[in-house]
Amino acid sequence: MKLLHLLKTTLFILTISLLQSCNQITLDKQEAQTLIVKTLNLPQKFHEEANANSNDPWGAGGRFYTLEKAGFVAKNGNWIYGYKIYATEKGKPYVIGEGKDNTGNKTLKFKGFDIVFNEINGIAINKEQHTATIRFSLKADNISPIMRVLEKDIDGIKMGELVFRKFDTGWQLESNLNKSSVEMVMEIWKGKRR
């Protein structure tokens, strides 16, 4: 009788221990890195566009004038009939294509940079809510000379934070507000808070 009681008690303790170990929520740095890289689809390649449209001084038109001063692009023509833009010998190695802006003006597409994962800065687990908040950083890599001219602080590290929820099938982003991985990366890169 005592043996039966001892067996039942032991089985009960083992069952409780097993259930508690199943409810343990853990996430190491390597798993967190894998989640971030997969969720944000890293690395991501970005390009820059330039055109001679003076009506667009803050966008591609403004970038054209900056690149023109640096000797990467030039134009011929005039404001009445329009400008034809082209890459100089200095700029040709970085051209990846051509396009048109919303007014039909020719644009040149240049190699920009890649945004890549840098490191995990912290992981906070909330066991009651089955969530993990992951703080991480991103950096630019394969930076073209074009980007060095257009964006002076391109070498900076950008901090991000995402929250994941643990499901039976694994960790999933808690809410991305229907944003693409490119949109999420650009929010982090531009410093917008989530």
117 vs 64: CA distance, rounded Å = 30
- pLDDT at site 147: 94
Cα dist. 107→22, 71, 91, 151, 176 in Å?
A: 57, 16, 14, 19, 32
Task: Give tens-digit pLDDT for 142-165.
Answer: 999 999 999 888 998 999 999 999
Is residue 194 pLDDT above 60, yes or no?
no
Q: 86 near 74, Cβ under 8 Å?
A: yes
Extents of the domains making up the chain: 27-44+113-190, 48-111
Q: 73 near 87, Cβ under 8 Å?
A: yes
- pLDDT at site 33: 97
Where are the strands (E) in 51-184, listed by range? Answer: 73-78, 82-87, 95-100, 106-126, 131-141, 158-167, 170-173
Confidence at 25, pLDDT banded by 50, 70, 90: confident
75 vs 124: CA distance, rounded Å = 53
Tokens 């687990």, residue? 125
Which percentage of the chain shows pLDDT scores above 90?
Answer: 56
Residues 6+ apart with CB under 8 A from 170: none
Task: Give tens-digit pLDDT for 40-95.
Answer: 999 999 998 888 765 555 566 678 888 999 999 998 887 777 778 899 999 999 99
- Residue 51's CB: how many other CB atoms inside 10 A? 25
